[in-house]
Amino acid sequence: MNGYNETAACGVVFTTSSISSLNSYGYSPHPLSSYIGWIKEILSKSGLVKPFIISITASTSDELTPMISFIQELRSTPNIAPLVAIELNTSCPNVPMVSPSGYIPSSIHPLLTALSDAHKQDKSLTIGLKLPPYTYRAQFEAIIETLREFDLGTFAFLTCTNTLGNSLLFSDQVEETREEPAFGGLAGDALHALALGNVHTFHELLQGEIAIIGVGGFVCAKAGAAVVGAATILGKEGVRAFELLTAA
């Protein structure tokens, strides 16, 4: 809601050998109110119908509920409602002393309850979850079982997968000049195989009941993603990334 306390220790590096990255960021330092204002300004331009997914996070339902209300206030603006969705980030590995709720059903359940309550009041609200990388089948089954405790129609999409935490790159492996190794969440090509496996497994288990947004080095939707997102390649190559992806 109020922005993450970003320090000088937060940063990102790109590898020399592939389109991969490692970052030590937590969440955005900008408060939710700033994003609300920016989106409202962009969507106020005549004829613009660009959709936005507002990614938020919280440790408790008491923190999450007012954030949902704030976004719903934005969506009450004429013609904006169908263009604004909520994504709950359950998966950042870089926040000290906070375990990603996407790994812990008992932690994510009250957050899903808050989202479900909001959806019951407004069926037009599009809701998704950004999930951490899972490495064995029981993890996939546990999160799906937790989702099925609610009306599965509440959740429009799953974003798979966030960065892989506790990763390390030495100074001779990255483009940036630095003396100390980089430590944090791994993304891009280096995460690609695991991200593909996550998308494929969710696609197989859910059989299309929930759409999947593929992230993590993706260049195609062969594993079952409805759409793919680009982050590391955009950060490294800038807008040229779209030329590279189009040619892939």
Tens-digit pLDDT profile for residues 110-143: 999 999 999 999 999 999 999 999 999 999 999 9
In DSSP terms, 84 is beta-bridged to 52
CA dist 194 to 99, 163, 171, 244, Å?
20, 10, 24, 22
The answer to whether residue 151 scores a pLDDT higher than 80 is: yes
Residue 14 located in a structural domain: no
Q: Residue 182's closest CA among 7, 9, 29, 16?
A: 9
The range of the structural domain enclosing residue 99 comes to: 28-167+186-247
Inside any domain, residue 59:
yes
**Residue 161, preceding peptide bond in cis (omega within 30° of 0):** yes
- Whether 101 and 60 have beta carbons less than 8 Å apart is answered as no
Residue with tokens 């989202």: 115
pLDDT in the model for residue 204: 96
In a domain, 241, yes or no: yes
- Note the pLDDT of residue 57: 92
Has residue 120 been placed in a domain? Answer: yes
Q: What's the domain count of the chain?
A: 1
Whether 45 is in a domain gets the answer yes
* 103 in a structural domain: yes
SS3 166: strand
Name every residue whose Cβ is closer than 8 Å to that of residue 1 and which is 6 or more positions away in sequence.
Answer: 31, 32, 56, 58, 63, 66, 67, 70
Q: What is the pLDDT of residue 220?
A: 67
Percent of the chain scored above 70 by pLDDT?
Answer: 94
Is residue 190's pLDDT more than 80? yes
Instruction: Note whether residue 125 is domain-resident.
Output: yes
Q: Is residue 180 part of a domain?
A: no
Kindly tell me if the per-residue pLDDT of 10 is higher than 80.
no
Task: Kindly report the average pLDDT of the chain as a whole number.
Answer: 89
Q: What is the CATH number of the domain that holds 202?
A: 3.20.20.70
| pLDDT the model gives residue 230 | 81
